[in-house]
Chains A and B, each alone.
Chain A
Amino acid sequence: MGAVVECSALTKFYGRNRGVEDVTLVVEAGTTFGFLGPNGAGKTTTIRCLLGMLKPTSGESRVFGERVTLDGAALRGRIGYVAGDVRLFERETGAWHIDYIARLRGAPAPSATELIDRLEFDPSRKVRELSKGNKQKLALIVGLMHDPELLILDEPTSGLDPLNQETVFEIVGERVARGATLFLSSHILSEVERVCERVGIVRAGHLVAEEDVSDLIAKHLRDVSVTFAGPVPAGALDGIEGLTDVTPSGDVTLSARIRGDAIDTLVKRLAAHELADLTIAHAKLEDVFREYYVHEAEVDA
């Protein structure tokens, strides 16, 4: 396996404003890499540098072993890109876009019909008549219809309903199973965990961590809210390692935050009590950053 995507000390400033700074990462062929970070962290800037749309201020990026330049047309022929902020020709139809991109690529699009069917997209309608979700579908179709070797997807499920999100992940999973490499940018933790093997976490323009998704899952932060059938039993949640921020809310409800695999201990403990309600939700990405990466950075410093 060789590296398909490489960034070496990649830095991009827009005037005085930082896009990304000193980002170094490697994505091996046939693997799935999640680029995780909040909005404005520098994910899209990194992707645009990889596609040769932006000229790095310093550092470099390589795709398929070749240095990315502003005029790297041949490289882009092997990449399927779906932009996060989908922009299309408003006065043209979906069918026109599909035909236009196919002509630009100089080859018929083998998967176009299949993708149209699976995403239940109507290509006869003009883009200006489409909802955000349908525009996203069209962007996915034109990005994936050539069965590219490298998929660069920037927030690909933005605006899609859960059913279509499911279909997109199925399609992406199939492409990866056939040997494609995936570079998925997202600010949704669960999305990256679901699709990717490895994840790079970017924050304020810096790559603050890079690790296997299994390690990230072990670090899971969840927000828990327990409503007991009666008054909160004394010591109900005492002694559970990884449980923090336990806060009563009224007489019957407790909320708390739990880390990693302590969820199993928590559920077993709660099973001994009669519950009226139980909510367990992934903590916000920012909270994960705060809990792990900011803290780790402070310790390192």
Chain B
Amino acid sequence: MSWTVLAATLRQRRWSLLWYSLGLVFYSWVMVWFWPQFQGTEYVDIIERLPEELIALMGSSGADLGTLGGYFETEYLGLMWMLIVSSAVILYAMKAVAAEVSAGTMELVLAQPISRVRFIVTRVVGLVIVSAILTGATFAPIQLFGPRYDIELTGETFALLYGLGMLFVLSIGGISLALSAGAREAGRPTAIVGGALGGMWILHILAEVSDIAGWFEPFNLLKYWRPADIINDGAVAAEVWWVYGGVTVASIAVAIVRFVRRDVA
């Protein structure tokens, strides 16, 4: 790992990271602030009367909307949050390699005495830091402002949300980095990751009504992200850790191997 490259990486991403983080903090605060006004309103009844597929489209895994977990999953963590953090880490991963190759700055850096392994490992460390900051910007405000608005998360629940949330972000970032590591420009890998996530989302919705789409569910990354279960029950199935952890480790390994073997100019 190179501290010099890491410092430069974070410096060059500082504004986008700041705006993403501020956005997440604000969004989380709004969700916390709105919770007391949301409870017991007709809005909950109206939503719960909607078809299951439509509720799923809003990001719910079927949890009771009247519960804190159901509320956060449907209104925030089940869809919008995934879109926000995914776009942030995809952006980071593309700039980490593919965009630098196409911009030509990779040539400047790799003309210096830094090994490719050190370089890409540093980019991975940067991804971990970015993921940690984004996840922190999401869940810390809930924990911090929650008690003022009738939201009490235990330390364990917060740790589970933070840990699994970060692993989810890392898995998306890892896949993006694996594609970016072998690309000459950022457009194509961005489209592939975006398309794959969009496809997973559609299949996830269709799985509610289609057996064929249901067959894909075990391979669907989005299926395993169920914040309502964590918030309501403090529960995460062991397989979820393995799925996100496995995808993260495997995709990062692929990114390193691809980058070390590729032409960089």
Binding site for B on A (CB under 8 A): 48, 51-55, 70-71, 73-77, 79, 81, 83, 85, 87-89, 91-92, 100-101, 103-106, 142-143
Contact = CB atoms under 8 A, between A and B. Distances in A.
Nearest to B115: A73
- Give the interface centre of B2, B4, B108, B110 by most chain A CB atoms within 10 Å: B108
Contacts of A92: 12
24 contacts: A48-B107, A48-B265, A53-B263, A53-B264, A54-B265, A71-B117, A73-B118, A76-B110, A76-B111, A76-B112, A81-B111, A85-B104, A87-B104, A87-B105, A87-B107, A88-B108, A89-B12, A89-B105, A92-B12, A100-B4, A104-B113, A105-B113, A142-B108, A143-B111
A70 B260 contact: yes
A104 B12 contact: no
B36 to A, nearest CB: 44
Contact of B108 (A71, A75, A87): A87
B44 interface: no
Given A53-B265, A83-B111, A91-B12, 12 more contacts: A54-B263, A54-B264, A70-B116, A76-B113, A77-B112, A81-B111, A87-B103, A88-B105, A89-B105, A104-B2, A104-B5, A104-B112
Contacts, number: 71
Interface string B86-123: 00000000000000000111011111111111100000
Interface residues of B, number: 25
Nearest to A52: B110
B110 A53 contact: yes
A71 B186 CA distance: 23
Given A70-B116, A76-B111, A81-B111, A55 B12 contact: no
Contact of B111 (A51, A85, A91, A100): A51
